[in-house]
A and B are shown apart, each in its own frame.
Chain A
């Protein structure tokens, strides 16, 4: 199945859906920052103790990381394969070409996706691998402090907000494409798919953006 173009698109749709689910959970966790330092740090610790005692310490987190890494690799593999097929399908371009359809979201899917991949590496370097240049001086073991100190650096805030814009565009076209690829977008469902994916493409970036903005504004300190 993975050999066919539609099979690769189904892989992109399925892995994309897992990442949308992850983004919603991640956003929910981030918003706990408004509940205060203690609640947020407690939440951060609970990610490691999740499922105990049935699940070993940190194992649920490890499983999540493995699933996210594998799905991201599969998503990127399918995207690269489809891009190469598309390039080979038109080796000689047009001297004059006016796109008959499309919008900012459709034309930025590939480059926006690449930008998001790079942002994920930077984001991990900052908050998971704790690279000193990015984190600044924070109290070790205090996740809340790491977040606040990190977002007091305007470079981190600007990069974060730019990445959220890319997320919004990626979700706008990717979300609708999910339904089209799975074969669920027909005339009867077109309108609610537009509303649903449009809402997600706005709600997810906004839900993430309020955290660094609140820190930068000094509301969370």
Chain B
């Protein structure tokens, strides 16, 4: 299939950046979106031009490295997929596709489609952990966790930190990411001792990084490749309220 691509090009963080148009022929419908970009880069290299920089690693939808705004939608038009798992069979011959990096102040563009998601790491550094005397692995059944609790914690823990939530949010908010990380540990017994310090530390860091506030629109969940739900945001709000206004002692 033949595609008309409009790709954001930016040589460095200081560069103002611009869109460039490319024509790409012989794209296999079975290739992934990133393989299509590989093909584009081979074509650019043959023309002695700079290839398009984009983040990727596992290409199996589990690492959280890739993430592009494909035609105005984070990770493209298929729900529950990272862009590496988006296949070209979902596009038609002759399609025009606009490809942009995440547009969030807290994710500055490094080059072309690569953004710096260090802000997510710093949110995690402010509470996304448990303090634990490390050593040999403890006996698995020494702390009993009800199945539904473990499942809920696992639902939150599926967050791969790709940043699509903030990218698709009309407010550029990282609330779903932070809520998933807060909820993942907050649902487990091991996470209880630091539960309320954690939520305050992570939410304050989220604000300090310059992310927007949540307006409960739900765009984040719609684009999340792991389909993490709005309930985690509600639960994070509840924990934050208890930490601030009392009720955190129970």
Interface residues of A (CB under 8 A from B): 1, 3-10, 82, 85-86, 88-102, 106, 109, 173, 176-177, 179-187
Contact = CB atoms under 8 A, between A and B. Distances in A.
B221 interface: yes
A92 B241 CA distance: 32
Given A1-B244, A89-B104, A98-B71, A183 B238 contact: yes
A126 to B, nearest CB: 31
B100 A94 contact: yes
At the interface, is chain B mostly helix, strand, loop or mixed? mixed
A77 to B, nearest CB: 14
A179 B233 CA distance: 11
A207 to B, nearest CB: 25
A13 B172 CA distance: 21
24 contacts: A1-B245, A4-B207, A5-B213, A10-B237, A82-B171, A85-B212, A86-B170, A86-B171, A89-B171, A89-B212, A90-B103, A97-B72, A98-B71, A98-B72, A101-B217, A101-B218, A106-B216, A179-B234, A180-B237, A182-B241, A183-B236, A183-B237, A183-B240, A184-B234
B210 interface: yes
B69 A101 contact: no
Contacts of B214: 5-6, 9
A114 to B, nearest CB: 15
Interface in B188-247: 203-204, 206-207, 210-223, 229-231, 233-241, 244-245
Contact of B239 (A94, A101, A183): A183
Given A98-B71, A98-B72, A186 B235 contact: yes
B73 interface: yes
Contacts of B236: 6, 183
A96 B100 contact: yes
Interface string B1-43: 0000010100000000001000000000000000000000000
Contacts of B207: 3-5, 85
B238 A89 contact: no
B185 interface: no
Nearest to A181: B237
A95 B19 contact: yes
Given A101-B219, A101-B221, A183 B241 contact: yes
A177 B215 contact: yes
B244 A89 contact: no
A6 B234 contact: no
Q: Most chain-A Cβ atoms within 10 A of its Cβ — which of B100, B215, B234, B237?
A: B215
Contacts of A109: 215
Interface in B44-79: 69, 71-74
Contacts of A180: 216, 230, 233-234, 237
